[in-house]
Structure 1
Amino acid sequence: MNDIPTIVEKITELVKTRLNDSEKSVTMTEIERTTRELLLELGRQVVEKTTQAMAQKYPEETSDCECGQKATYIRQRKTQLRTLFGKLTVKRAYYLCDDCHTGHYPLDQQLGLRPNALSAELARLVGLTGVHIPYGKGSELLQELAQISVSQPCLAKTTGQIGEVVQEREEKLQQKALESNYLAKRQRESRKPLRLYGAIDATKVQVRQVGEHLWRDLKLGAWFEAGGKPPKTPDGNWTIAAENIHYYADIAAAADFSSLVWATAVEQKADLAAELIILGDGAEWIWNLVQENSPHTIQILDWFHATEHLADLAKVVFAQEAKQAAWLSTAKQLMWEGDIEALITACQALQAVSSADEIRTTVNYFVEHKERMRYAHFHQQGYQIGSGTIESAAKQIGMMRMKVPGASWNTDMAVKVAKARAAYLSDRWRSLPLAA
């Protein structure tokens, strides 16, 4: 580190020279731009020379082949690499096996080189852009912020490839989650969570299919822990916050999604938790999945979905906002206290002043889910009773990326981008195995 001042002096002189040679007037903007251009070029040369230095100057005559035999040195071959600092050229030894007729480059394997493709680190950055914003804007942003030139098709392809990595990982998890020996070993050796939450939801995504534009369910799930305490009143401040969130997503039939629910549950040790709490809205397919995978869990109907049903009913029955608010306040208090029978009676009583079909629909909704609405018991136990975590996933994956204006996906790419974004939101981005 002692030589850094000397390096800085030399770079400063180079920047001054370039500024003096320029016909433009020297401003802070020009100083910054010139310095950045110079540092990028220096970085490119440093990466190129460092990579080349890792190659053997005098290659061995043979190299171990994956088939178990020896491959013979043929010659040095050049390749282009696309890195964070731009394109660079590296020359490395090429070997060919006489037995299996397979060629390989030891340096590629040693350093994880990706010939004629984006380096793993560049791919990670490009993919990160692709899971956040549309590819056209992403291409412009990369050029402006990092001086990285990537076409829209390349950005889309890279984002999709990262989604494939997540997809392959999930497929392996699904296979492993069915192995009885593995499950038995976990039962003996794994640390068992004390309290874990799960939530499931879906949002609509437009996809192209045989010339049509169809709306498909993007199913979403989350496993998480929660800190804080619930409020003491239905309108109090909610301080419970989700922690250590693991998101997953797919466009699939409920039966196929069920396999992913179970696999991620095993990964997060949900099946070993002392308390497992599942939150969801009133969708039948959600509770069928829960019953199939975790029949003994604590099931909670999302508090905010339930209150929305009450609010909608009040608006239908009462014309005046004051009456709406008064009835809603009383109904929410009954629900908060866990007196669902009284809540149902209060809803049925509205038939005396209105013949709206919504009264019967709401009553049926509460009758069906009353075991999931024991809110007094739930908040006494300190449980989170709102599914804000999965609602956030629906917004951050569905609304903010999949449903941006003009977005239209084929199903395969929609799945890959959703899975890649779920990995990012779960703080798993840098752990994805992108190296060659």
Structure 2
Amino acid sequence: MNIPATLDLNQAIETFKQTIAPLLAVGEISSWDGVALKAREEAIRAAALVLAGQVIALLLHELSEHPDSQREANQRTRSSRGFMARSQGKRRVKVLTVGNVVVEFKVGYILNGVSQQKRKGKRKAGQRGPSQGQGFYPLLRWLGLEEQVSPLVWSVVAAAGMLSRSFAQATEQLQQWGIELSEKRVVRLTYGFGQIGLALTDQWLAQLQQGQLPTGQTFEGQRVGLSVDGGRTRLRYNKRGRRRATKRRGDRGHWREPKLFTLYAIDEQGQRINTVKLPVINDGTFTGIEGFMSLLEMYLVKLGVVHAQQVLLLADGAPWIWHRIPALLERLGLPKDRLIELIDFYHASQHLKDFAEAAFSKAQVARKWFEAARSSLKRGKLAQLLTQMQQILAQKHTRQQRKAMTTPFNYFNDQPQRFAYGQVQAMNLPIGSGAIESLIRQVVNLRLKGNGKFWLPEHAEILLQGRCYWAAGRWDTFCAEILTAKLDAKRLEIVEPNASDLAVA
């Protein structure tokens, strides 16, 4: 249940005192136990959150009433003004803060007109005459309040929606912290938050395509690790043809592989660095190899990877990775001698195990050979290992055995330059792709992949990006980018909120 804002600090504190006083009473000492204490803690927390909401509501009211606020809001949202923008006076809006406190105030509304060229033929359902365009509230846009919730509430709701196992679970968790919203509203706020994040990425991709994205300096002089891998998620697509009696066409599900990467600096001890100046960058996409390569290129340019001291490309044996990414780095200007291509040691070990199991009928003999071979591979003795594998292949085996042995042998023989584990370890660089494997699990497997889960492509893309930022420890950076994104609306195409969703009669 929503709590109206009092807009009086003394009254809010007095109400808090009256609420909290009985909660501090000890009473009969024998009645206490862990359950009783937990219940009392929850009640105290709820009261404190209501007080925090009242204070935030008072702050929002003061901001809206400040004589310079409207001027500053108009200045900061100047790029949002479109064709024949005109003021429509002030309208009342409500904003939800923490503790479920709702504050109401009046703010100016700007209506953007539609040019004659765009006006022709555009008409909303039930509307007479041409479309009148879209409007916005400058103060709400400036302060990140356009969704009728405070920025803190919006970011907390989006985090819960993206990071919980389900939207139902997110809704329940939010209620425990004084944010009582319907599951439908949680879904809408989460996807609305993520849509802006995707729009920002599209903006950077457009700058890259137009040659306007500047090369950064973040990774200048650093040893940089780049790992790539994919997961599995089931997406749903609307069926073609006539609609059913339910007015829906139905949908079909297909498994798609989201491709992800992690990009990070490596210290002298071989550990990942994750600081404000040298952040870990995670991202991915469902848009296929071409979309993934464009996304990766954008980040490589934005972070200035071409200025790195060394780049370690660590991945599995997927051919597209080795055909495309080294060529991309070379095209961007990274000298060949600064790039190290390395296949993940644990993927390589699995191929050795496959060879051993095909070559030896006895499990104990196969295991003994595999352990010795893996040790040789890790120490950088690939040439001796290949010779040994050739000798085993030359022995008498069945046709089926030879076929099963030939595939892992060719895996090593065709790309020997990507198994220099001894050399790479001597440089204190990682040889395993644990970072990307962990990312796939956190981002894809724990939320997007699962029995009975079908995602619309656009929704899966939103959750993928948000969870990538979270897994990199960059959620606050993600929020800051989104909450200020619309202040540069000329370069950022985002669906505008409907004025009727905000205005109160």
TM-score (norm 1): 0.82
Deviation at 1:95?
Answer: 5.2
Partner of 1:139: 171
**Cα distance in structure 2, aligned partners of 1:400 and 1:382:** 31
User: SS at the partner of 1:430?
Assistant: helix
Residue among 183, 187, 191 paired with 1:160: 191
Residue among 344, 350, 361 paired with 2:392: 350
- Does the alignment pair 1:82 with 2:124? no
Partner of 1:219: 259
Alpha-carbon contact 2:96-2:103 (below 8 Å) kept:
no
Partner of 2:380: 338
Partner of 2:482: 434
- Does the alignment pair 1:15 with 2:17? no
Partner of 1:317: 359
Partner of 2:501: none
Partner of 2:443: 397
**Which amino acid is the alignment partner of residue 205 of structure 1?**
T
Partner of 2:244: none
**Cα distance in structure 2, aligned partners of 1:319 and 1:51:** 75
Deviation at 1:220?
Answer: 0.5
Residue among 136, 140, 162 paired with 1:108: 140
Task: Mark the CA change 1:328 to 1:135 in structure 2 (over 3 Å): closer, same or farther.
Answer: same
User: SS at the partner of 2:179?
Assistant: coil
Deviation at 1:310?
Answer: 0.8
Task: Mark the CA change 1:195 to 1:85 in structure 2 (over 3 Å): closer, same or farther.
Answer: same
User: SS at the partner of 2:444?
Assistant: helix
Deviation at 1:287?
Answer: 1.2
Deviation at 1:99?
Answer: 9.1
Deviation at 1:123?
Answer: 1.7
Is the strand fraction higher in 1 or 2?
A: 1
1:245-284 matched pairs, under 5 angstroms: 245-284=280-319
**Cα distance in structure 1, aligned partners of 2:151 and 2:70:** 30
**Cα distance in structure 2, aligned partners of 1:324 and 1:345:** 17
Alpha-carbon contact 1:123-1:158 (below 8 Å) kept:
yes
Partner of 1:193: 221
**Cα distance in structure 2, aligned partners of 1:269 and 1:98:** 39
Deviation at 1:388?
Answer: 1.1
**Which amino acid is the alignment partner of residue 208 of structure 1?**
R
TM-score (norm 2): 0.72
Partner of 1:124: 155
Segments of 5+ residues of structure 2 without an aligned counterpart are 1-8, 26-30, 115-131, 240-250, 275-279, 331-335, 487-505
> Relative to structure 2, which stretch is displaced further, 390-399 or 90-99?
90-99
Task: Mark the CA change 1:127 to 1:14 in structure 2 (over 3 Å): closer, same or farther.
Answer: closer
User: SS at the partner of 2:65?
Assistant: coil
Alpha-carbon contact 2:261-2:284 (below 8 Å) kept:
yes
Cα deviation code 1:324-350 (max 9, x no counterpart): 222112212332233323222322333
Task: Mark the CA change 1:194 to 1:334 in structure 2 (over 3 Å): closer, same or farther.
Answer: same
Task: Mark the CA change 1:310 to 1:18 in structure 2 (over 3 Å): closer, same or farther.
Answer: closer
Task: Mark the CA change 1:317 to 1:153 in structure 2 (over 3 Å): closer, same or farther.
Answer: farther
**Cα distance in structure 2, aligned partners of 1:251 and 1:162:** 19
**Cα distance in structure 1, aligned partners of 2:61 and 2:416:** 68
**Which amino acid is the alignment partner of residue 19 of structure 2?**
L
Alpha-carbon contact 1:80-1:87 (below 8 Å) kept:
no
Residue among 300, 322, 337 paired with 1:287: 322
**Cα distance in structure 1, aligned partners of 2:19 and 2:218:** 58
Deviation at 1:167?
Answer: 1.7
- Does the alignment pair 1:301 with 2:329? no
**Cα distance in structure 1, aligned partners of 2:315 and 2:459:** 27
Segments of 5+ residues of structure 1 without an aligned counterpart are 230-239
Deviation at 1:29?
Answer: 4.2
Cα deviation code 1:300-326 (max 9, x no counterpart): 111111011112222333343431222
Deviation at 1:70?
Answer: 9.7
User: SS at the partner of 1:267?
Assistant: helix
**Cα distance in structure 2, aligned partners of 1:98 and 1:137:** 39
Partner of 1:237: none
**Cα distance in structure 1, aligned partners of 2:292 and 2:178:** 40
Deviation at 1:104?
Answer: 5.5
Q: Percent identity?
A: 21
Alpha-carbon contact 1:162-1:420 (below 8 Å) kept:
no
**Which amino acid is the alignment partner of residue 447 of structure 2?**
R
Cα deviation code 1:23-72 (max 9, x no counterpart): xx895345334323322332332222232222338899999684599966
> Relative to structure 2, which stretch is displaced further, 159-168 or 119-128?
159-168
**Cα distance in structure 2, aligned partners of 1:139 and 1:60:** 34
Partner of 2:40: 31
Residue among 47, 57, 62 paired with 1:53: 62
Partner of 1:42: 51
Pairs aligned (count): 412
**Which amino acid is the alignment partner of residue 372 of structure 1?**
R
Alpha-carbon contact 2:63-2:69 (below 8 Å) kept:
no
